[in-house]
Each structure stands twice: as C-alpha cells, then as structure tokens.
Amino acid sequence: MTTTSTSVDTLAASQSIRDGKALISAGGITELGFISLGSENSTRRYLGIWYTNISPLTVVWVANRDTPLENNSGILQLNEKGILELLDAEYSTIWSSNISSKEVNNPIAYLLDSGNLVVKNGQGTNKDTVLWQSFDFPGDTWMPEMKIGWNLETGQETYLSSWKSDSDPAEGDNALKLDLRGLPQIIIFKEHEIYKRLGSWNGYSLVSDPNQNFQTRPKFEDNGKEVYYYYEVLHNSVFFVVTLTPSGTMHSSSWTNQTRTRNFVSTGERDQCENYAVCGSNSICIYDGNHATCECMRGYVPKSPDEWNISYWANGCVSMNKSTCNNSYTDGFFKYTNLKLPDTSSSWFNISINLDECRKICLKNCSCTAYADLDIRDGGRGCLLWFNALVDTRKFSQWGQDLYVRVPASELVIAKATGNFSAENKVGEGGSGPVHKGTLTDGKEIAVKRLSMNSGQGLCEFKNEVALIAKLQHRNLVKLMGCCIEGEEKMLIYEYMPNHSLDYFVFDESKSMFLDWSKRINIISGIARGLLYLHQDSTLRIIHRDLKTSNILLDANLNPKISDFRLARLMLGDQVETKINRVAGTYGYIASEYAARGHLSVKSDVFSYGEKLIDEKVQDEGNEIL
C-alpha cells in the first residue's frame, strides 16, 4: 500500500505523488510535479522540475519527455528497489529510472535546491550511496554543478538534448556533448553533424568564449575516471541556467532571490563566425561588426579561387607549399594572436612540455600543422599539437589565444620584415594589392607589394613585370630586389621609397607646398630621363602603358622613379608602333589613338607624361582597364 506525499522534499519507498501534488526542495527553490506545456488547452501532462515562483515558468527537466501522459491521472512512486516509476491511469509504467548494481537499502528520493532529483540509500549521506540522479540524465538545460561529459569507468555519457519545439519537450535534433577525440571539447551537434563548437579548456574557460560570464565560473575535470565540464555560480543570491534551444543556440538566463524574474543574459547568437567551419579548413573567420569574411592562413591559398572571390568559403584553403618529410625541417611557424583555437579532434597534448619543446616536437613531425599552449594560465604551459587540417578558427578583437601555424621558411622572411604585414607597416594600396614597408635583418628598408587575388593581375602580368624590370637599370626606374611565387601567392620586393608616390603630393594642397619649382623641375626631368631610357637607350624598347602619378615613386631626396611594369609592352627590334586588341591602362592617362583604335607607340607614354602626369590639376585617376 502506498501513501501520498506533498509539499516535502523527499519521497520514501512505497510513497507516491499524484498529479496535483508536488515535491518542493528544502529551501523552496525548486519543485517537482506534473505540468502541461504549450497551450492552456493541452491535455498532455509531464513529470517535470522547475524553479518555484519564477516568471516566466522555467522548466529545467522532464522525465517522460518522449511519452507524455494523456490526462491528469499520473502517479510517481519509488519502489523498494530504488527505482522511480511514472504510472498512467491503468498503472502501466510509461517512464522509470534505472540504477546501478549497487546494494539498495531503504531508498529515499530527494529533490535538492539545485534542481537535482537524487535517489539514495536511507542511511548516511555519503555520495557513494547515490543510486540515481536526474543530473546524470539532463534534458535541454545545463544547471550549476551539472556535469557534461563521460564516466570513463562505466562508459556513461551525460549531454544536453534540445526540445523539439518550445512546447514539445521530446528529444529534438540538437545535442551538446563533450567530444573525447584529441583534446576534449564541447560541441553542439545538429542532426548528428557538428553545428557549433564551444571548444576545449584552456585553463580559464572554453576557447570560444574567453570573456566568461561574470556570474559564473567554468570548471573542467579529467581525473582518469571522469572527464567533464561544469560551472559554479559565484553568488548565492544569483541563479543561472543555460538552455540548448530547438534552433541549436545556447540561451543563458539568470535571476535573483529579490527579482524572481528571469532575464536573458545571452541569446547565444553572436555572429556568423560561430557556425562550424564556415570558412572551411586552414582559414580564419573574421567578423567586423557587420558581416563575416574569411582569409587563408599564412602559407595557404583558396582551394577554389573563383568560389573564394564570390564569398563562398566552404572549401577552405590548401597548402601552397609542396613540402615533404624530406624538406620539412626548413619550415618555421607564423604566430597568430587573439584566436579561437582550431578543432582539437585531431590534436595531441601533454601538460608537462613547455612551448619551446612543443615547437621542436611539431617541427620534427611533418604531419604537424600547428601548436599552442595547452594551458594559458601563468604565462602558459603544456603543449597542444594539431595534425592535418586546421578547422573552425576565428579572430577575436580583444581576447583569444596564440596559435603557431607551420609555414615554409620563405613565408617567414617576408612576414618578419613587414611585421607580419601589419596595418602599421602598410604604406599604400593600388589596384593590384597592398604595399607594406619592411626592414631586413641587415637594416635595409624594402617595399613589399603583395598582389591581391582579385586584382585582375594574373601570373602572366606578374612574370612580365619581373622579366622586364629585372633587365632594366636606371636611376629613374625603381629597383626590383626580389620576387616570390608560391601557389596563388605573388609578391614583389622593391627598394623602399620613403616619400611615397607623386600623387601623395600633387593632389594634396598642403603637401604640394613642399614641391617648389626647382623640385618640380627635377621630378619632371627625372621622369623624362627614365622614359628616354625605356624608349631609346636600353637594350629593350619598352612602352610602360600605365604612366601616372601613383606609379612615380619619390626617394628620400624627392628623385622620381618609374614603377609598376605589370602592363609594360616590349617592342621588337626597331619597332616603334604596334596595334593591339586589348587596351590596358588608366582612364584619363591614355592617348586617344590608343584608346580608340589600339595603336600603341612610344608616343602613348609621352601623352601620359606631357598631357596628364605633370598637370597637378588632374584630380581623378578613374578606373584601370584590365
């Protein structure tokens, strides 16, 4: 025979509660009973746990989420074996708890203030006497002290699963789990595919959210028997829960004893970079406040440049370096800062190895693609290595971690000289790409033009510029010091011109005052000498085809030097004129006979020089024709 319990926090063996009655935790914080979800007219009833007197209603656990009662005749009882049973009107079991093979002695069920429903043996309060607890079988809500992870001894996994809808608690398509492959990390799955990745533990927090909520403290435990995450609430008067929604996002909400009103702390919707692998592999997602963009990591190029140029990034980036284990020892590492570290499912880690040892281990293994600190506390410790592709990496503006990505040695010498192509060292940008100032190890200053993939300048124009300018030597022509071609990456290294280009002065009223008449005469004469060399005095007769103020660079003494030979045309023998089908250059600087009929000659450069270049009133250079 059973008796009915109500308004107490315990349920002893042979006791039961019927629909309309409830268990209330000792502190009056949580309640267990029968409830309808959705519309007021719904006849479906669920056995659930919710926070008492909180608005709106906050249900944190449902027992019979997939098998609702069809009326209000449900009964919850605890039998002598320590098993909780939910019975319908016909006394058929529609849900029950299951317990381990522990010895059962006078079991009692407790509803705790934490929202955990616990079944224990009657004597003692030692944790070893716990027979079953609802925290081991959560629904869509992650509560303080609730573990998400694995019991390695029993193989039991504890994870969140979303409701099907806001009014249907049946198991939905989304799950939040601890993935044990490589370094353990929290992942949100949607229909068994990775949807979002909260990441691994770095000593302070999960890597996806270094700026942890001030109300909670995250924790991670790996003791050989269990691997799990949980969190603590920092103040006793504050309540905080995290819900996995039917859409797959994480909603955080909190309230206090005084307010009793639940407020959303975070909706979980941050930006597009939170979607798993939105940029494919070996790339970084960057969110500027309005939209997300992707860029390949150093040493990598888009797998499909055409798709990349139209902002379809899913195929990611591939290595431009065809290195093998025979030459990988010459590689180095490019340091990125403020990153969400990549997916750690193919990683290896060791807490006892320092970062320098970590670098050496990675360098010796040609399959190792990156390394980082395992734990960032106290200046960093431990070693985390990645193998194969680097996936789901994003840039943060003010927080994040350092990541060292393996690159060929050639990538490091340019990158090091320009401060990793930093914005501070950027001195200009034309139609073909940005130009950065660099300083070599011997102190010599250089200018590095890194050609943009969507500039319209292909390999043909690049080789043309290198081939022509390498054979030209004149004081009024810019000197090419080197070049780099690796995959889709193309760079030109010039002597550095500290006074930028001519348009920097002539189109700025204040700066143009520095150009007195003697300096202007020197610039005009220098350009003329350079053109005379190209057209007549060099062994090759060359027509520049894109002579304009931005392509005239000025050295420390304001001496002019003609630059940018990507569109230059070589004339054969004594040839002084030719007809071409493809007109190239810049509107406003092109001779009329060339623009209209394709007649190209040395006079075309003279037109650009005489009619436009020395006329400082030209204010609009227009668009390049490619």
396 has pLDDT over 70: yes
622 has pLDDT over 50: no
Which residues make Cβ contacts (< 8 Å) with residue 404, sequence separation at least 6? Answer: 333, 334, 335, 336, 359, 362, 370, 371, 372
pLDDT (tens digit per residue) in 433-453: 778 888 876 778 888 887 765
- Dihedral sign for Cα 164, 166, 169, 175, please: positive
Average pLDDT estimate for 14-36: 94
Which amino acid is present at 474?
Answer: H
Q: Which residue has the higher pLDDT, 237 or 221?
A: 221
How much is the pLDDT for 619? 38
Q: Which residue has the higher pLDDT, 584 or 207?
A: 207
pLDDT (tens digit per residue) in 525-546: 999 999 999 888 887 788 888 8
Assign residue 118 a region (left: φ > 0; alpha: ψ between -120 and 50; beta: otherwise). Answer: beta
Which pLDDT band holds residue 620 (cuts at 50, 70, 90)? very low
CATH code 2.90.10 for 138-269: yes
d(CA 303, CA 547): 35
pLDDT (tens digit per residue) in 183-228: 999 999 999 999 999 999 999 888 876 555 668 889 999 999 999 9
How much is the pLDDT for 194? 96
d(CA 345, CA 352): 20
Which residues make Cβ contacts (< 8 Å) with residue 593, sequence separation at least 6? Answer: 599, 604
- How much is the pTM? 0.69
Q: Which two tokens stand for residue 565?
A: 């030979």
369 has pLDDT over 80: yes
Active site residues per annotation? 546
Average pLDDT estimate for 497-513: 83
Q: Which of 53-67, 412-426, 496-510 has the highest average model confidence (pLDDT)?
A: 53-67
Q: Which residue has the higher pLDDT, 413 or 208?
A: 208
Number of Cβ within a 10 Å radius of residue 528: 16
555 has pLDDT over 60: yes
Beta bridge partners of 406: 333
Task: In the chain, count H helices and then E strands.
Answer: 9, 48
Which pLDDT band holds residue 105 (cuts at 50, 70, 90)? confident
How much is the pLDDT for 624? 42
Residue linked to tokens 């004129």? 577
Q: Which two tokens stand for residue 300?
A: 């990598």
Which helix (H) or strand (E) segment is 196 a member of?
Answer: strand 193-200
Q: Does residue 74 contact residue 18 with C-beta atoms inside 8 Å?
A: yes
pLDDT (tens digit per residue) in 303-322: 888 888 888 999 999 987 65
Residue linked to tokens 């050639």? 410
Q: What is the mean pLDDT of the chain?
A: 84
Q: Which residue has the higher pLDDT, 230 or 322?
A: 230
How much is the pLDDT for 233? 92
Average pLDDT estimate for 129-158: 95
Average pLDDT estimate for 565-574: 73
> Which regions of the chain carry the CATH code 2.90.10.10?
1-135
33 has pLDDT over 50: yes
d(CA 173, CA 191): 5
CATH H-level, domain 1-135: superfamily: Bulb-type lectin domain (2.90.10.10)
Beta bridge partners of 197: 187
- What percent of the chain has pLDDT above 70? 84
Pick from 554, 539, 394: nearest CA to 476: 554
CATH code 3.30.200.20 for 423-495: yes
Average pLDDT estimate for 238-255: 92
Which pLDDT band holds residue 111 (cuts at 50, 70, 90)? very high
Distances (CA, A) of 524 to 80, 216, 286, 466, 612: 103, 69, 45, 26, 12
Q: Which residues of 395-426 are buried (b: 16+ CB within 10 A; e: fewer)?
A: bbeeebbbbbbbbbebbbebbebbebbeeebe
> Which regions of the chain carry the CATH code 3.30.200.20?
423-495
> Which regions of the chain carry the CATH code 1.10.510.10?
503-625
How much is the pLDDT for 436? 81
- What percent of the chain has pLDDT above 90? 46
How much is the pLDDT for 43? 85
564 has pLDDT over 60: yes
Distances (CA, A) of 167 to 35, 135, 310: 12, 22, 40
What is the CATH T-level fold of the domain 503-625, as seen in this structure? Answer: Transferase(Phosphotransferase); domain 1 (1.10.510)
6 has pLDDT over 70: no
